[in-house]
Structure 1
C-alpha cells in the first residue's frame, strides 16, 4: 500500500477520543497496554473524550474483557485467525482499517518491538505524523493538541512536538515510563468486536516457528527492586557482587551502558536512554556516576539509593539515599545486615 498524502486539509473536528493500540503475546495482554491506558485515561479526561483500547487476536475474548477493569470506555477486539500471532502486514492493515472507520484523535503505541514495527507503518498509511519514544504527554490548554515530549541529541535536551494539521496524533511510549492504570473491581465501558478484511495474500511474511530463549529472562520493566552496576565495578567479576545483593533482595540486575559496551553483561540488563526505562519501588545504583542518559531511564523510581566513592557524582543529585564509599565494602555490609550476619568493616 502506498503512503497516504499528508496535509490534505482534513476536517479535524471529525476526529475524537483517545486510543491505545494494545498488545498481546500468546493470548496474554502485555503490561505496556495497561501503562498506556493509565496515561490515555488522563489525556481523555482532560479532553473530556472517551478512552478506547484496541487488541488484535483470535479466540481470546476472556483475556480482552479484562481491560474493561482498567478504565477503558470502549474495548475494540479485532478478531481474526490471521491476528492470532503477530505479523507486520496483518496488524498494520487491521489497525489502519479500524482507525479509518472510527477516526480517533490521539493514538498511543508502545515503543516495543511490535510497536516500533507497526507504528511508523500505520502513520505512513494514514498520512499523519508519529513522535517516537515519548517520555511526557500533555494536552495544550489553549487548543487541545497533544504536546509530545521526547529526548533529543542523546538525551541532552527535551523536544516537544505537535501535529497541527493531520490526524490522528500518534505517539510511541517506552514501556516503564508511564504509571499503569489502576485495576477496578467493577468493569466499566463496553466491548465491540471488529472483524478486519484480511486474507492470506495480504501477509507476506509468515510465522513458521517461535523459538524461546532458554536463558533466564530479564524483566526490568516489572521489577519492584533493581540493583544496577556501573563502571565503578571495574570488571565483569564485579557483577557477582551485584547479583548477590539482588538475590538477597529478590531483585533484578541492571547495568549502565558502559558495562554493556565493555562486554561485562548482556544488553538485556541495560537501563537508560538507549536501554530499558524503569520505575521500580527501589533502584540501587552501584558505581554509577549518573550520566544524563542513564538518569533518563530510572529517575522515576520511587526510591533511589546511590553508592559511589565520588561525593561529587551527579547520581547524588537525584538520589533519596546516598552512600559515599567503596561499593566493595558497602555492598557486603548491606548483604550481611540483610541476612542478619555480623557486620564488620
Structure 2
C-alpha cells in the first residue's frame, strides 16, 4: 500500500570519510520537502568507519540518520551499496529518496529503482510537492533543454530522483541540532561480491574549472562572432576567472561543450558571475541563478537576464568589455607574490 510509505530520504555520498557537497545540498532541498509533507528527513549513510559522519548529516538538516557501517562498504560498488539501501528501504518504507546526479549516485539510483520496481527521474533541476496527492514533482530539461518536463511517479513507492550538483542550496550548519542515529546491520561478505576493488586511481585528466571557479565570465550570442567572443576570454584571464558560454555559443562552435552553462551544461555558483551578451533564457538561468553576484551586460534593456542580475549595464558589450578589461588591469597590483586589486 502506498500509504505505508512515509519520510524523505537523502542518500549521503561520501568518500574517504568526507561527505560530497551535493549531499549537503540535497539535505537542504529535502528539508523543504519533508516540512511540506510533515514527515522526518533522513540521511542514509553507507560505508566503513563512517559513524562520525552521522552528526554532520544532522547538523545539515536531517532529523534521522540510517547508518550501515561495514568493511564491505568501504569503497563504492553497485552491488554492495544497492543491497544496503534496499535493505533499509524495504524495512522503513520511505516516501521519497533523493540522490546526487553524480556517477555513483546515478548508478546506485538506477539499480535501486530497478530492484524496487519504482520510477526514477534523472538529472532533476527543480523539486516540489503536490501536497494534495503527496506526489514528488521532479522537473528536468527535456527535448534538448527546450522545455521543462515535470515527472510524477503516481503508482509506485518510493518516489526517486537524482539531482544535479549546485542546483540546490545547503542549509547553514547547525551543530546544536538534535537528531537520531539508527545503526543497522546487514549480512555482507567480500566473497559473495561479484566485483572487487583492486585499486583506486585518482582522476588526473584536465577538466573544466567552471564548477569551482570564484569568478565566471559567460558570453552569449550577443557577442556577435567568434572574434569578438575572445573578449570574454581576455576578461576572464584578467580577473583570474573561468570562461563559460550559452548553448547558442557552443552550437556556433565558439566554445567547447564542456564550458556550456545551463540546463544541458554545467551548473555554477561562483561569487561573481558576468553574463555578457546573454539574453537570460530560463534554460541558461537555471544553471547560474544561485551565483552570489550577477553582473549583466546587454543592449536590450528588457532582456530577461536583468531580472536575476544584481547589477545591470545596458549597452554594447563589444564597447563595454574592453573598458572593463582596461580598468581591471589598471587596478591590478602585486602583493606578496600574488595578484590582487587595489
Change (3 A) 1:298 1:88: same
CA distance in 1 between partners of 2:154 and 2:239 (Å): 48
CA contact (8 A) 1:52 1:76 kept: yes
| Greater alpha carbon shift after TM alignment, 305-314 vs 113-122 | 305-314
CA contact (8 A) 2:10 2:23 kept: yes
Residue 285 (structure 1) aligned with residue 269 (structure 2): no
CA distance in 2 between partners of 1:28 and 1:217 (Å): 22
Residue 18 (structure 1) aligned with residue 3 (structure 2): no
CA contact (8 A) 1:286 1:307 kept: yes
C-alpha deviation, 1:244, in angstroms: 4.9
Change (3 A) 1:13 1:311: closer
C-alpha deviation, 1:89, in angstroms: 1.7
**Corresponding residue for residue 148 of structure 2:** 158
**Corresponding residue for residue 325 of structure 1:** 316
C-alpha deviation, 1:253, in angstroms: 3.1
Residue 170 (structure 1) aligned with residue 199 (structure 2): no
| Greater alpha carbon shift after TM alignment, 272-281 vs 70-79 | 272-281
Equivalent residue for 1:93, pick from 77, 83, 86: 83
Residue 137 (structure 1) aligned with residue 137 (structure 2): no
> Could you say what the CA RMSD is over the residues aligned between the two structures, in angstroms?
3.0
Equivalent residue for 1:206, pick from 189, 196, 200: 196
Q: Which runs of 5+ in 1 are unaligned?
A: 1-10
Equivalent residue for 1:113, pick from 103, 117, 120: 103
CA distance in 1 between partners of 2:200 and 2:259 (Å): 23
Residue 67 (structure 1) aligned with residue 50 (structure 2): no
C-alpha deviation, 1:115, in angstroms: 1.6
**Corresponding residue for residue 33 of structure 2:** 43
C-alpha deviation, 1:185, in angstroms: 3.1
C-alpha deviation, 1:233, in angstroms: 7.7
Change (3 A) 1:191 1:127: same
Change (3 A) 1:218 1:326: same
C-alpha deviation, 1:280, in angstroms: 3.5
Change (3 A) 1:158 1:263: closer
C-alpha deviation, 1:331, in angstroms: 3.0
| Greater alpha carbon shift after TM alignment, 189-198 vs 30-39 | 189-198
Change (3 A) 1:190 1:273: same
CA distance in 2 between partners of 1:43 and 1:137 (Å): 8
CA distance in 1 between partners of 2:236 and 2:182 (Å): 44
CA contact (8 A) 1:135 1:177 kept: yes
CA distance in 1 between partners of 2:227 and 2:255 (Å): 7
CA distance in 1 between partners of 2:249 and 2:128 (Å): 35
Residue 337 (structure 1) aligned with residue 320 (structure 2): no
CA distance in 2 between partners of 1:341 and 1:136 (Å): 40
How many correspondences in the alignment? 330
CA distance in 2 between partners of 1:207 and 1:322 (Å): 54
Change (3 A) 1:73 1:341: closer
Q: Which runs of 5+ in 2 are unaligned?
A: 333-342
CA distance in 1 between partners of 2:257 and 2:58 (Å): 36
**Aligned to 1:226, what secondary structure does the other structure show?**
strand
C-alpha deviation, 1:59, in angstroms: 1.5
C-alpha deviation, 1:113, in angstroms: 1.3
| Greater alpha carbon shift after TM alignment, 67-76 vs 270-279 | 270-279
TM-score normalised by length of structure 1: 0.82
**Corresponding residue for residue 235 of structure 2:** 245
CA distance in 2 between partners of 1:164 and 1:85 (Å): 34
**Corresponding residue for residue 181 of structure 2:** 191
CA distance in 2 between partners of 1:78 and 1:322 (Å): 53
C-alpha deviation, 1:258, in angstroms: 5.0
Change (3 A) 1:60 1:47: same
Equivalent residue for 2:24, pick from 26, 30, 34: 34
